Amino acid sequence: MSLLSVRGIHKTFGDNQVIQGIDLDIEPGTVTVIIGPSGCGKTTLLRSLNGLETPEQGVVSIDDIEVDYASKPTPAQIRKLRSKTGFVFQAHNLFPHLSVLQNITEGPIYGNKQPPEEARALGRTLLEQVGLADKADAYPGDLSGGQQQRVGIARALALQPKLLLFDEPTSALDPEIVGDVLQLMRKLAREGWTMAVVTHEIQFAKQVATNVVFIDQGVIVEQGSPQQVLTNPSHPRTREFLRRILDPLADEESAS
């Protein structure tokens, strides 16, 4: 049985139809990597899974919570859906005025009503797991981009979600420290966390993904195993996208 079920999601911004009837299933303990060109709708889809975006129609089910966007769900329904997920943002989105440990414990204490001492103990354990045990009392401004993103991952884990959502978690990082974040994500995958990851990191997708979803112009063009989609894609649009992202100078060289 699927942990996540998405049926008929549609989302528009003004006259721009960003998502056009997407269906998607994610099984427990799997890693789904979502790829596609900029502006194709992949981030909007990810944000629609926990109510950060509100589609005009479509049904999202996570675990035992179902939200039908066509019926205009209440804030309480959205909170229940969101309680099943942990979201890791592209630009970290840490509170600059709170310490690292406070950033991690805000959600569990005020959202999940977890006892503060229990939340702080879990937060320190998670900081140790992401390699930042000595940074509990530091502030986000004292950390590198890679360290901030690892705090963001610990913050998501602290909510003890059923599904981890990653929105291009390495795109804002210095290339030299991208590997640290990807290595942590590999570790989470090995531990059995269910993950949906929007990324351009094709090698990560090849090595870690259970399922790869290629989106273009608001629809799923192709999906399947990394071998199917990334090594032997059947759709011409997928082949074109991969050629451009893996060898961005190819067109320039062929024209010269």
Q: What percent of the chain has pLDDT over 90?
A: 85
Taken in order of first residue, the domains within the chain and their CATH numbers are 4-84+161-255 (3.40.50.300)
The pLDDT tens digits of the residues spanning 203-218 come to 999 999 999 999 999 9
DSSP string, 209-227: -SEEEEEETTEEEEEE-HI
Residue 174: which pLDDT band, with cuts at 50, 70 and 90? confident
The pLDDT tens digits of the residues spanning 4-56 come to 999 999 999 998 999 999 999 999 999 999 999 988 999 999 999 999 999 99
Q: Is 137 exposed, middle or buried (0-12, 13-18, 19+ CB in 10 A)?
A: exposed
Residue holding tokens 């001492």? Answer: 117
Q: Residue 127 in contact with residue 105, Cβ under 8 Å?
A: no
Q: Which two tokens stand for residue 145?
A: 């981009």
Whether the pLDDT of residue 244 is over 50: the answer is yes
